[in-house]
Amino acid sequence: MDKKPHILFVDDESNILMGLRRGLHGKRKLWKMSFAEGGHEALELVRNDHIDVIVTDMRMPIMDGAQLLEEVRELSPDTARVVLSGYSKDEAILRVVGAAHQYLAKPCNFELLEATLERLITFRANLDKYEVREKITQMKSLPSLPDVYQELMVELQNDFSTNKSIAAVMEKDLGMKAQVLKICNSAFFGLPQQVNDLPSAISLLGMDTLRSMSLLSGVFSSYKGSAQELAVMQKICDDSLEISLVAQKLSKLLYNKSELGELVSCAGTLSHVGSLVIAISWPQEFKQVMQLSQKQDKPIEKIEQGLIGVDHAWIGAYFLGLWGFSFNVCEAVAYQHQPGNCPDVPQPVLTVVYLAHELIRFSKEDNSNFEMFLDTLDQEFLNKQHIDIADVDWAGVLKVKAA
C-alpha cells in the first residue's frame, strides 16, 4: 500500500501542469502526485482514489476552482483544499473563502508551494484520527455569536465606522478573528510577512473587502443554537480573550520583545478555538465533557481524549494549521497543556500561553498562595526556556484582566 501523501494539482492549461511536474520532480519520492486538466477530470480522480491535498487554479472553463472545491468538500471531506491562482479580483477571492483552506497567488515560487504543502502534510500526520480530521477539514467557517454578528453587521454599514471600531467588535469572537487573519495572510494580498493582529489585518483588507466578506460571500454567519449553547460559546470566547491578555502581560515581563506581542496575542486568543470546533462538530460529546468536568476532578483535555480521541488543543492546532496560521501559533495551541512534549526549544509563545492558562486555572480554584502555583508547573520545561519566574507578581499579572 502506497503510504505517501497524495497531492492532486488541477489546471486547465497543460503547460502549467507540465511546469508543476518539472518543478516538483524532486518530491516524487516523498509525495504521490496526480495532475488533472480541469474540474471534471479532477473529480474522477477524487472519486477513485484518496487525495490528501488538492491544489487548483481558480479561473477554469465549465467548472471553476470554487465550484470544484465545493464538490471535493462533499466527496472527500478529509482532503485539504488549496487555491493556486493568478485571478485576484476581490469577488473571485471571496468566493473561495469557505471552500479553500489556503490561497497561493501565481506566479508562485516552488519554495513557497513546497513549504505550504509540507506544512499541511505535517499537520495532517500529527492528527491521525481520520474521523476527527475529516470533520475539521470539511468545515468552511466558524459561526459567530449572534449578538456579535449583529453588532458587526451594523458597524460595517455605518459610514463613520473605523478600523479600530470594527476590530473591537471582532475581538469578541474567535470565528471572526480567525477568518479575517486567514484571508489577510493569503498570498492574494502579497504581504511581505505574516499578520497576527486584528487591527492591522482589517486595515490591510480595507472596508470594501470586509463588506464584501459579510454581504457577498457570507463568510460570517450567526450561530443558531439554544440559549445554553450560546452561553457556552460566549464563555469560550471570554476565556480565550482572558488568556490572551494575561499572556501578553507575561510576554512583556519575561521577554520584553515587541515582535512577540502579535504572536502571543493571536495564540492566546485562539488557544480555545478547538473547544469551539468541538462544540460545533461534536455537540453531544461536548455536553458530556462539560458535565463530566464538573463531576470529576479531571482536566477537560483528558475527558475529551476519552470521548473523542483527541483534545481541544490538538484539534485547534490542526484547524489553525489547515488555515495557514504561523507555526509558532499552532505549536503554542497544540502544546498549551503539555509544553514538555514540544520538540522545539526555546518556545516563548508557548511558554507565556501555557503560564497564562495555568495561572488562570489556579486562580479559579480559589487559591491565593502563589508560591504553591510554582509547584504546579512543568519545571523541566520552564528550565529549558532560560527565564526567571521566581519573582513574578502573579497576582499583579491577573489584574490585567480588569484593565
- pLDDT per residue as tens digits for the range 87-111: 655 555 666 667 889 888 888 889 9
**If you average pLDDT over residues 184-210, what whole number do you get?**
80
Rounded to 10 deg, the angle between the 174-184 and 198-205 helix axes is 50
User: Mean pLDDT lowest for which of 3-7, 229-233, 271-275, 321-325?
Assistant: 229-233
What pLDDT sits at residue 51? 97
Give dist(CA 392, CA 253) in Å, integer: 8
> What is the spatial distance between Cα 52 and Cα 121, in angstroms, rounded to a whole number?
8
Domain ranges in the chain?
A: 6-126, 146-215, 227-402
Instruction: Indicate if the pLDDT at residue 403 is higher than 70.
Output: no
Q: What is the mean pLDDT of residues 6-35?
A: 95
pLDDT at 218 over 80: no
Residues 6+ positions from 11 with CB-CB distance below 8 Å:
17, 20, 37, 56, 57, 60
Q: What is the spatial distance between Cα 375 and Cα 362, in angstroms, rounded to a whole number?
A: 11
Mean of the pLDDT values across residues 15-31? 94
What is the pLDDT, as a whole number, of residue 76? 96
Per the CB < 8 A criterion, the answer to whether 303 and 289 are in contact is yes
Say which CATH architecture domain 227-402 belongs to: Orthogonal Bundle (1.10)
The conformational region for residue 221 under phi > 0 = left, psi -120 to 50 = alpha, else beta, is beta
C-alpha–C-alpha distance, residues 60 and 189, integer Å: 21
Same fold, 6-126 and 227-402: no
Q: What 3-state DSSP class applies to 378?
A: coil
Query: Hey, which CATH number is domain 6-126, 3.40.50.300, 3.40.50.2300, 2.102.10.10, 3.40.50.1370?
Result: 3.40.50.2300
ω before 283 within 30° of 0 (cis)? no
Give the dihedral sign, CA 385/388/393/395: positive
Which single residue is written with the C-alpha cell 485562539? 270
Residue 182 pLDDT level (bands cut at 50, 70, 90) = confident
Written as nine digits, the cell of 273 is 478555538
Q: How confident is the model at residue 317 (pLDDT cuts 50, 70, 90)?
A: very high
